[in-house]
Amino acid sequence: MTLPEPIDALVIGAGPAGLMAADCMAQAGRQVVICEAKPSPARKFLMAGKSGLNLMNAAPLDSQIAQYAEAADWLAPMLHAFGPDQIRAWAEALGQELFTGSSGRVFPQAMKASPLLRAWLARLDLLGVQLRRGWRWRGGAFDFVTPNGIRSLAPQVTVLALGGASWSRLGSDGAWTDHFAARGIALAPFQPANMGFHVAWSPHMVAHFGKPIKGVRLIAGNQSIRAEFVISAKGVEGGAIYPLSRALREGAELRIDLFPDLTTTQIADRLSRQPARYSLTNRLRRALKLEGARLSLALELARDIAADPAQLKALTLPLFGPRPMDEAISTAGGIPRAALTDQLMLRDWPGTFAAGEMLDWEAPTGGYLLTACLATGHWAGNYAARF
């Protein structure tokens, strides 16, 4: 058995949190080695950037912190230390100009993750950071399966940034939980977050699979959002579903207001003016401009609209549970706050810190996920640098 290789600082996982931790430690003068299981780094980050990298949000910081729910007070110091203002300056220092969209979401002008990642990796290289690709942590202290067989490392300090448990093909497979179990460290079970839901559609909805439902308001519990969502063969997904996904996962009923700009009285009045000889479908088309996928959705979910047009403002969509966790944009669960010091060091594992989606927090899409990954990576990296 080869003796462990002594190194100064180790980061396991080359996603945004791991790269940020490595950046901070290297700038503090530590000699950093990053071990990444995949052949290339930041695969989930690159995938997020394919449809436009939503790097952060332009909302006031206090309102952003509230998006993290029960983890808000835990993450608040980290977000104040490296929040939207600091992320903007960091991205611009890497040559990436940003712009704010109409929804308040902030994107690189390039609308992709790859230019930012290339510039970041180049800076890490200049700082002397080693990136070892194809090095998968297999447990023990720090034993790895590598392209050249089993290797062991003996770091002075370590930051773990192995991600959550969604999109396993990109590297976030949650396999690290076995190593924590072997050390007796209790974790919060993983759950899907920002995901779609199963719906048992009738055959007449098949023609509308892949179609967006626009101009509606969705309600779940005490939350509501005005945005569009997509009907699919599997169920529903998209921008209006993800912010409500936690409430829906926890059992809230999903209701759809097809006409958020009309009152029930206005809807009933418009329908009443249509000649009785017209079919219900024609009356809905003529009076309310209801057609296509929105019309089919109304007919799928409502019962006797003519007698009770108020249903069009509160259609109940029966859900049959969330889509599989591996399809989720992110996950809840992971390392609980109680297992960590305020510096994000594991209480039962001195010298080992953790960051990113490994930690037990969740947030909606809109820039909040990446912001917290970068902020926790920055926090853990700075404290690890001083260890």
Q: Which amino acid is at 374?
A: L
Tell whether 326 is covered by a domain: no
Q: Would you say residue 1 has pLDDT above 60?
A: no
pLDDT at 285 over 70: yes
Q: Which of 284, 317, 350 is the last residue of a domain?
A: 317
Residues 183 and 201 in one domain: no
Of 207, 193, 140, the closest CA to residue 165 belongs to 193
302, 225: one domain: yes
The owner of tokens 């017209």 is 278
**12 and 125 inside one domain:** yes
Neighbours of 51 (CB within 10 A): 9
- Judge whether 215 lies within some domain: yes
Whether residues 78 and 145 fall in one domain: yes
Tell me the two tokens of residue 66.
Answer: 């509230």
pLDDT attached to residue 140: 80
Instruction: Answer whether residue 44 is part of any domain.
Output: yes
Q: Do 157 and 69 sit in the same domain of this protein?
A: yes
Task: Indicate if 88 and 51 belong to the same structural domain.
Answer: yes
Cα angle 188-192-195, degrees, rounded to a multiple of 5: 160
- The reply to whether 145 and 244 lie within a common domain is no
* CATH classification at residue 363: 3.50.50.60
Tens-digit pLDDT profile for residues 19-41: 999 999 999 999 999 999 999 99
Looking at the fold, whether 204 and 184 belong to one and the same domain comes out as no
Percent of the chain with pLDDT over 70: 100
Rounded CA separation 387/382 (Å): 9
Q: Phi then psi for 218, rounded to 5 degrees?
A: -105, 140
User: Are 218 and 291 within one domain?
Assistant: yes
Main-chain dihedrals φ then ψ at residue 155, nearest 5 degrees: -80, 155
Residue spans of alpha helices (H) in the chain: 16-27, 43-48, 61-65, 72-81, 84-93, 114-126, 176-182, 245-249, 264-272, 280-288, 292-301, 368-386
Sheet containing 254-257: order of strands:
223-226, 217-220, 254-257, 315-317
Report pTM. 0.94
Question: Do 23 and 167 belong together in one domain?
Answer: yes
Listed residues 287, 317, 347: the one ending a domain: 317
Residues 54 and 32 in one domain: yes
Same domain, 110 and 165: yes
Average pLDDT along the chain: 96
52 band by pLDDT with thresholds 50, 70 and 90: confident
Render pLDDT for 107-137 as a digit per residue (tens, 0 to 9): 999 999 999 999 999 999 999 999 999 999 9
Q: Does 323 map to a domain? A: no
Q: List the domain range (segments joined by +) for residue 169.
A: 5-193+331-386
What is the full DSSP assignment across 192-237? EES--EE----GGGGGGTT-EE-S-EEEETTEEEE--EEE-SSEEE
pLDDT in tens, 219-261: 999 999 999 999 999 999 999 999 999 999 999 999 999 999 9
Number of domains in the chain: 2
> Any idea which residue has 């098949």 for tokens?
206
